[in-house]
Each structure stands twice: as C-alpha cells, then as structure tokens.
Amino acid sequence: MGRYEEILDAAGRLFSERGYHATSVREIARQLDLQGGSLYAHIDSKEEVLFQIVERAAHRFSEVVQNLPEGDARVRVCAFVRGHLRVIVEELPYATVFFHEWKFLSEPYKDRVRRLRDAYETALKELIEEGVREGVFRVEDPDLAAKFVLGALNWVYQWYRPGGRLGPEELARGFCPLVLGALGGGEG
Amino acid sequence: MGRYEEILDAAGRLFSERGYHATSVREIARQLDLQGGSLYAHIDSKEEVLFQIVERAAHRFSEVVQNLPEGDARVRVCAFVRGHLRVIVEELPYATVFFHEWKFLSEPYKDRVRRLRDAYETALKELIEEGVREGVFRVEDPDLAAKFVLGALNWVYQWYRPGGRLGPEELARGFCPLVLGALGGGEG
C-alpha cells in the first residue's frame, strides 16, 4: 500500500469513528508516526482527504451497477443487493464516511458527490422500472422504492460488525428475499 | 417553550448539522443570545444536553410502539411505519442526533441509550413474529427483517426535507406496502 493509501485509510478510520470535524490533520499524522506538518508533503488539505475517501467509496459502489449479470430484474436486483452489501462490509470505514461525512465537503466537491449519489440511486430506480416492465415487480413509486431499498441496505453500516452472527454472504442471502418481497417480486 | 427546551432545540440543530464534537457550548449559547458561561446556569455539560436530546427522541419513538392499534399484524406494522416516520419527519434534528451522535455519549449514558434502541428493535421483531404466527407474514429471520425495516425507515432522515415531493402521510402510504411486501404480507 502506498503512502497516500495509508493516509486515506488512517483518515477514514478516524473520520468514521469521530467525525470529520472532530479529526485534526495532526491526529491523522500521528496514526502514521508522522509530524502534522509533514503530512502536507502528501496532501493539500484535510478536505482533499475527505473527498478522496468519499470518491473511492462512490467508485466501489458504482462498480456494483456496472457489473450486474444478465438475467431478469430479480436476478439483477439480488446481485445489486449482494454487491452493495459487500462494499459496505468490506469498506466499513469508507462507507461510513461516504454516508455521513460527505455533507461537510464544500462546493464543487459536494456537488460532484451529490451527482454520483443521484446517478447510483437512479440506476437502482431504473432496474426496478425494468422489473415492472418485465412484469416481475409491482411497484407504485419506483423512486420511493429505490430510496427504501437503499436505506435498508445502507443502514447495515450502523450495526454490522465483522465476526457477528451473519457474514456478508448470509446477510445478502437474508436481504435478497426481503428486497424482492418489497418490490412485489417475492415467491408465492 | 422553557429555557431548557430552547437550549435542547438549538443544540439539536447544531449537533445534527455539524456533529456533536464540532459544536461548542459557546456556539449553542450564541444561538440563544447568551454568554457561553451563563449557559452553565441551565446545564451541567454538553454531554448532558446530548443525552437529553437522544432520550427525548427515544421517548417519542417508544410512544409509537406503546400506542399501536388493535388489529392483525399488518395493521399494526403499518401503524408502526406511520408513527415511526412521523417522529423522524416532525423531529428531524432530534432524530438525526439520535441516529448519529448517540455513539459519542460515554457510559453509563451510552448503555442506557443502547438498551432503549434494543428494546425498540425487539418490539418490532416481536410484532413481525406475531404476524408469522398469525399466518399473515412469511419471514425467515425476524431479527434481520426488523433491522431491514428499521433501516429503510430510518434512512428517510437522510433525504427527507419539509416541502419536498412527499409529505409525511404520502410517505407512510408509500412505505406501508413496501414493508408489508418485504415481510411476505403484501397483496396478491
């Protein structure tokens, strides 16, 4: 791992535990046994670090929708659920920062993140609409349904801990029928 | 509104916008045109204020499960959805602080909040189990289903803004069939 990645990882942990505003550049440096000032050889600002973390998380999430398998909308939605949960579980600090701390970015960073988030939500909404057209889902309001599903998935960052009762695969297996049911595409 | 409630409201807004750690007692006082020091005539510490906000939000949520109507589990779950969303929408800053900032409480405050949260989640889980026994829900893992539903509802605080496309009643009407569907208790 390069120095820059180490900085992002240390900052991601601190931002996710304490929040962006409550973390100083000095504390990030201390995690890496650096002097506060010497961190500026690697970064321009604390905000740049926040943006890089948020953008990396956004990139991981966007890979999920770019790599959905062929198949009917149920297969694709379950692959989405599995992929989305995997990013949260594997990148828990980054995902936490992505969900919470992005709002502390200033423009134009913030606008860029807002667009990434909107595009991702739109991709799920279109997947739901696809299922409605295919006749496998029954959904009144695909926009609201997309927000509902994303909320249910995203909230996992609040309670998921590695080594808990459910691993990432069990979690995806448990969530897939709940999501399909919500979209009117469950069994029975 | 008493002075103490004004303090909680001002603090709730600041904590929800900037985070607990990034808000000083001086800034809370400034919102109320008080000197920083004179706020201590009303409060013992910033942490006490955080705890009071979190406890009030927890109290509003717990009223929801205490006031569910009679009826089968579908009726009761939809009343839960409506009541839970109403608390989020009506108390957006308090709910935001309840969801995010409670983790910054120290013990024994934190443990007390953890129990309130657990009891609330357990109440929803038991409601789901009731529906399974009644034969109106089909759910593999009621604990996971409760987490799923709460996540979908709680996430609303992230995107809900007063005056948006959906008011609190439309929101509840849209969410109820999604929740029932997830629990295998939808129409059809």
Closest alpha carbon within chain A to B155: A151
Measured between beta carbons, the chain A residues lying within 8 angstroms of B177 are 140
Position A14 in a domain:
no
Question: What's this model's pTM, rounded to 2 decimal places?
Answer: 0.94
Q: Taking CB atoms and an 8 Å limit, are B166 and A144 in contact across chains?
A: yes
In this structure, how many other beta carbons lie within 10 angstroms of the beta carbon of residue B32?
15
Position B68 in a domain:
yes
| pLDDT, mean of residues B37-63 | 93
Measured between beta carbons, the chain A residues lying within 8 angstroms of B144 are 166, 171, 174-175, 178
- Full DSSP string of B70-106: SS-HHHHHHHHHHHHHHHHHHTHHHHHHHHHGGGGPP
| CA-wise closest residue to B147 among A61, A122, A161, A92 | A161
Position B169 in a domain:
yes
Rounded distance between C-alpha atoms, residue B187 and residue B177, angstroms:
8
Measured between beta carbons, the chain B residues lying within 8 angstroms of A18 are 21
Position A169 in a domain:
yes
In this structure, how many other beta carbons lie within 10 angstroms of the beta carbon of residue A145?
28
Rounded distance between C-alpha atoms, residue A109 and residue A101, angstroms:
12
Position A170 in a domain:
yes
Q: Would an 8 Å CB–CB cutoff place B68 in contact with chain A?
A: no
As for the ipTM of the complex, it is 0.93
pLDDT value of position A130: 96
CA atoms within 13 A on the CB side of A152: 29
Q: Would an 8 Å CB–CB cutoff place A66 in contact with chain B?
A: no
Rounded distance between C-alpha atoms, residue B130 and residue B132, angstroms:
5
Instruction: Show the domain range for A126.
Output: 46-182
pLDDT digits (tens, 9 = 90+) for A68-125: 999 999 999 999 999 999 999 999 999 999 998 998 999 999 999 999 999 999 999 9
The residues, ordered by sequence, that sit 6+ positions from B113 with a Cβ below 8 Å of its Cβ are: B51, B54, B55, B58, B102, B105
pLDDT value of position A188: 45
Instruction: Provide the CATH number for the domain around residue A136.
Output: 1.10.357.10
Position B12 in a domain:
no
Q: Would an 8 Å CB–CB cutoff place A188 in contact with chain B?
A: yes
Residue B20: pLDDT above 70?
A: yes
Q: Would an 8 Å CB–CB cutoff place B168 in contact with chain A?
A: no
Measured between beta carbons, the chain A residues lying within 8 angstroms of B131 are none
Rounded distance between C-alpha atoms, residue A120 and residue A150, angstroms:
10
Residues written for chain A: 188
Question: pLDDT-based confidence at A187, cuts 50/70/90?
Answer: low
Provide the mean pLDDT of chain A.
93
Measured between beta carbons, the chain A residues lying within 8 angstroms of B171 are 144
- Full DSSP string of B130-162: HHHHHTS---S-HHHHHHHHHHHHHTHHHH--T
Rounded distance between C-alpha atoms, residue A125 and residue A147, angstroms:
8
| CA-wise closest residue to A149 among B153, B110, B172 | B153
Q: Would an 8 Å CB–CB cutoff place B119 in contact with chain A?
A: no
pLDDT value of position B187: 65
Q: Taking CB atoms and an 8 Å limit, are B155 and A159 in contact across chains?
A: no
Query: Is-contact B160 B186, C-beta < 8 A?
Result: no
pLDDT digits (tens, 9 = 90+) for A56-75: 999 999 999 999 999 999 99
State how many domains chain A has: 1
The residues, ordered by sequence, that sit 6+ positions from A176 with a Cβ below 8 Å of its Cβ are: A77, A78, A81, A82
Position B80 in a domain:
yes
Burial string for A111-141 (b: 16+ CB within 10 Å, else e) reads ebbeebbeebbebbbebbbbbbeeebbebeb
Position A15 in a domain:
no
